[in-house]
């Protein structure tokens, strides 16, 4: 881990621009298996299957209900998208996925696809499964391509799902009197972060150092430009009051804070704003990957943060409530 004395400056500087799980697509939604478009390989597939996926920062929960030749099956898979292999305890609720025993799992992003590697056991035989989750550009179709390897051979399967709920990116904008640039952003399906946001200390996780006593961020979001004014009390660096600007069109923007320069590059992945931040600290490169997620009712802004440098890595979650 990063040494405690090295953290406070960057935890206060980039708390809003940083984020952790670096997802590149939004999988959240209710999905129904399209058996006609799927290819189950040599093993009969289910007659029906419905998946509900909830994606929140670096955590993805996938609840599955299926019925078919193997009988009715219900299970929930909980993934931490950090690229690390996690051992699943025998008594874990996700250890038994139908007739399969899940022993190890790892999840990571490959550009716009979620890749999940699983080690399973079926009737005493070990299986290595790699699942790739791809969402179509319009957000209406989810394809899970699976490659299964075992001592008995290998096979490929494809599960195609149709979205059952309305995709966030497909919601039409309501007529209003907002400026044309903001209205255009809403039509494109991107959230509007404009507002005054108070940090919810109880719902946030600050990692190895204390968070501020209070924090309020004022955001002006107009088209591709986002202006942030942050006022923080009682941080490890004292009271802070600073402003910076982001642009969400993929063009780099530079911020400078007490002589420290950082370059932010931000763009959209469906309705999630992702930001890459690059800077230096004590001669080492520091990178921050970020994700801003706005709740469906527009009242909660969640920022998950992952910091990485030669000194180590850490994660942080900030939850803001609209005032």
Q: Is the Cα dihedral 14, 271, 83, 74 positive or negative?
A: positive
pLDDT for res 218: 97
Residues 185 and 296 placed together within one structural domain of the fold: yes
Which residue, among 48, 76, 46, has the nearest Cα to 63 in the 3D structure?
Answer: 76
- Beta-carbon contacts of 132 under 8 Å, excluding residues fewer than 6 positions away, are 110, 113, 114, 115, 116, 144, 145, 146
| Cα–Cα distance measured from residue 218 to residue 179, given in angstroms and rounded to the nearest whole number | 19
Which residue, among 276, 309, 313, has the nearest Cα to 292 in the 3D structure?
Answer: 276
- Beta-carbon contacts of 90 under 8 Å, excluding residues fewer than 6 positions away, are none
Residues 163 and 213 placed together within one structural domain of the fold: no
Write the DSSP string, 254-279: EEEETTEEEEEEEEEETTEEEEEEEE
Residues 38 and 152 placed together within one structural domain of the fold: yes
Question: How many other CB atoms are found less than 10 A from the CB of residue 148?
Answer: 20
Residues 121 and 80 placed together within one structural domain of the fold: yes
Sheet holding 272-281, edge to edge: 238-247, 225-235, 214-222, 195-199, 312-322, 300-309, 284-294, 272-281, 260-269, 253-257
Residues 245 and 294 placed together within one structural domain of the fold: yes
Q: Which of 168, 186, 216 is the last residue of a domain?
A: 168
- Beta-carbon contacts of 73 under 8 Å, excluding residues fewer than 6 positions away, are 46, 64, 65, 66, 67, 97, 98, 99
Residues 107 and 156 placed together within one structural domain of the fold: yes
C-alpha distances (whole Å) from 61 to each of 101, 270, 274, 310 are 18, 19, 20, 31
Q: Which of 152, 168, 184 is the last residue of a domain?
A: 168
- Cα 52–54–56 angle (5° rounding)? 170
Residues 179 and 308 placed together within one structural domain of the fold: yes
Question: How many other CB atoms are found less than 10 A from the CB of residue 188?
Answer: 11
Residues 212 and 93 placed together within one structural domain of the fold: no
Total count of domains within the chain: 2
Which residue, among 129, 105, 110, has the nearest Cα to 23 in the 3D structure?
Answer: 110
Domain residues for 43?
Answer: 29-168
Which residue, among 271, 317, 320, has the nearest Cα to 296 in the 3D structure?
Answer: 271
Residues 154 and 53 placed together within one structural domain of the fold: yes
Residues 270 and 151 placed together within one structural domain of the fold: no
CATH code of the domain containing 54:
2.40.128.20
Per-residue confidence in pLDDT tens, the chain, 323 aa: 333 333 334 444 444 333 333 445 778 899 999 999 999 998 899 999 999 999 877 789 999 999 998 789 888 889 998 889 999 888 887 877 777 889 999 999 887 789 999 998 888 888 999 999 998 877 889 999 999 998 878 999 999 999 997 544 333 333 333 443 433 343 356 899 999 999 999 888 887 777 899 999 999 999 999 999 999 999 877 888 988 899 999 999 988 766 778 899 999 887 889 998 888 876 678 888 888 999 989 999 999 888 887 777 778 889 999 99
Residues 158 and 268 placed together within one structural domain of the fold: no
CB 205 within 8 A of CB 314: no
Residues 131 and 268 placed together within one structural domain of the fold: no
Half-sphere exposure (CA, 13 Å, Cβ side) for 75?
16
pLDDT for res 166: 59
Q: Which of 120, 150, 168 is the last residue of a domain?
A: 168
pLDDT for res 315: 80
| Cα–Cα distance measured from residue 36 to residue 39, given in angstroms and rounded to the nearest whole number | 8
């Amino acid at each position: 881990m990063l040494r405690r004395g090295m953290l406070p400056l960057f935890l206060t500087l980039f708390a809003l621009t940083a984020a952790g799980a670096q997802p590149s697509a939004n999988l959240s939604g209710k999905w129904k298996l399209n058996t006609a478009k799927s290819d189950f390989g040599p093993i009969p597939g289910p007659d029906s299957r419905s998946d509900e996926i909830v994606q929140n920062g670096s955590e993805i929960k996938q609840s599955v209900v299926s019925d078919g030749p193997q009988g009715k099956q219900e299970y929930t898979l909980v993934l931490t998208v950090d690229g690390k292999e996690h051992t699943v305890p025998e008594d874990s609720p996700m250890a038994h996925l139908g007739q399969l025993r899940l022993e190890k799992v790892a999840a990571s992003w490959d550009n716009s696809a979620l890749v999940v590697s699983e080690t399973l056991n079926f009737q005493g035989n070990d299986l290595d499964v790699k699942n790739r989750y791809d969402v179509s550009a319009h957000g209406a179709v989810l394809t899970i391509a699976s490659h299964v390897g075992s001592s008995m051979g290998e096979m490929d399967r494809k599960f195609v799902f149709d979205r059952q709920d309305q995709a966030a990116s497909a919601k039409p904008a309501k007529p209003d009197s907002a400026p044309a640039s903001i209205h255009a952003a809403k039509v494109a399906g991107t959230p509007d972060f404009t507002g005054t946001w108070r940090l919810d200390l109880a719902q946030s996780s600050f990692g190895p150092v204390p968070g501020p006593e209070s924090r309020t961020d004022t955001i002006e979001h107009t088209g591709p430009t986002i202006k942030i004014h942050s006022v923080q009390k009682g941080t490890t660096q004292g009271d802070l009051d600073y402003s910076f600007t982001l642009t969400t069109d993929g063009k780099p923007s530079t911020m400078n804070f007490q002589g420290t320069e950082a370059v932010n590059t931000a763009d959209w992945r469906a309705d999630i704003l992702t930001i890459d931040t690059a800077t230096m600290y004590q001669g080492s490169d520091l990178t921050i990957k970020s994700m801003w997620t706005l709740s469906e009712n527009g009242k909660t802004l969640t920022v998950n943060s992952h910091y990485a440098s030669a000194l180590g890595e850490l994660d942080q979650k900030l939850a803001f409530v609209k005032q």
